[in-house]
Amino acid sequence: MKRQLHNLRKEAHQIRLSHAERSRMSQHIFGEATADASPYSVIYSWFSLRFAMPMAAALMVVLGTGTVYAAGGALPGDTLYAVKVSVTEPMREVLAFSQTAKADFHTNVVQERLEEAETLVSQGRLTESTTKALEENLNKHVAAAQTITKTLAEGDPDTAADMATALDSSLSAHGAILARLGDDSEDDHARQYSARLALNVGMVRIPQEVREEKQNTSTIHSATSLVQTAQTISEPTLVAGETMRKDAEQEEMEQRQSKDRSLLKRKEKASGQLAEVRKQFEKTKDSFGSSTAQKVESRFQEIQQQIEAGNTADALRGGVELYTFIKAGQKFNGDILERLIIGKDNRQDKEGRENADGSDD
């Protein structure tokens, strides 16, 4: 233990940061303010803030700013990985004050674990013990995100559905990346454990009732039935029936307007997400072949059509998957981006045929 602490302190003293790196490190630990921050993010406990800031300051004093920053890129097996998982990430969780922010934190950590696994596969460094540790950590953070999302669904079903869709889509996309990298690896262990991890990731699903877009059709139907009841009311109570009918019609109209506003909001969110994904792709578009670029463009068009048709859940899901695939294409060599998209298309075709066969039975 003393030797590990000595090595850690030795590495800390050897690391020096530029001004830009210090800025990025601060954003990594404390979070980066954005214009689109959730309104929930400003409703936090003064008590938590009071103690979180001194803790964060103490963290940098004890370990050094360079160590904290460098730990952000550490992989399982690296000296600084323990700092990342056992110190920096718990601090990030403490600084996530709202339920929405906490769900975002756990979702981001899940993505980080999967990206770490992908890097290890590509380097031929994914071992049995590392796979087990990654699985345990993944399961913990996925379970935490699910629990928080279910709680959010009680008061804000739209936000909960979007967050659940993002997590579920990310798991699906990273599972496909792990499987593809494993197939390409020349290391037997990397192939074996990447397949195992990809399978386990694919088995982690978000509850359907949370991922579904909530349609308040039952209330609308109830209002419609009130209109029909009012229309069949007897002559002696005609005035009362007319009042009830008008009230029911007003209620139904308000419900439909609310539904339309919700759909418009979700369309705007899906469109904004798609624009960010396209921006990410345009940065390195020239590094991909023309065939890959064409397939990515086809996916953009498909997602845009889903948005226009009001199928925002699939559009959000497709945007997350495409973004994850593009990041993998930028990170790893070869034609992995094109093959991931082809694999996605093949799975969709297979699911479509299975659904068609099932409906014929």
Q: What is the pLDDT of residues 292-302, one digit of tens each?
A: 999 999 999 99
Give the pLDDT band (50/70/90) at residue 114: very high
Residue 166 confidence (pLDDT) above 80:
yes
- Region of poorest pLDDT, from 17-31, 146-160, 310-324, 331-345: 17-31
Listed in sequence order, the residues at least 6 apart from 281 whose beta carbon sits closer than 8 Å to its beta carbon are: 296, 326
Q: Mean per-residue pLDDT for 209-237?
A: 48
Reduced to 3 states (helix: H, G, I; strand: E, B; else coil), residue 182 is helix
Distances (CA, A) of 97 to 27, 87, 131, 196, 197: 16, 17, 31, 35, 31
181 is written with which tokens?
A: 């990298």
Q: Which of these, 175, 166, 170, 168, lies nearest to 195 by C-alpha position?
A: 175
- Region of poorest pLDDT, from 61-65, 72-76, 329-333: 61-65
345 is written with which tokens?
A: 């298309």
Q: Mean per-residue pLDDT for 200-228?
A: 53
Distances (CA, A) of 157 to 75, 164, 212, 245, 320: 36, 10, 9, 30, 19
Is the CB of residue 315 less than 8 Å from the CB of residue 274?
A: yes
Residue 47 confidence (pLDDT) above 60:
no
How far apart (Å, rounded) are the C-alpha atoms in residues 329 and 334? 8
Q: What is the percentage of the chain residues whose pLDDT exceeds 70?
A: 66
Residue 247 confidence (pLDDT) above 80:
no
288 is written with which tokens?
A: 């991909």
Give the pLDDT band (50/70/90) at residue 91: confident
Listed in sequence order, the residues at least 6 apart from 184 whose beta carbon sits closer than 8 Å to its beta carbon are: 334, 336
Query: How far does CA 1 lie from the centroid of its chain?
Result: 37
pTM here is: 0.73
- State the pLDDT at residue 48: 39
| Residue in this structure with the two tokens 């800025």, named with its chain if needed | 23
Give the pLDDT band (50/70/90) at residue 238: low
- State the pLDDT at residue 267: 93
Give the pLDDT band (50/70/90) at residue 245: confident
Give the pLDDT band (50/70/90) at residue 325: very high
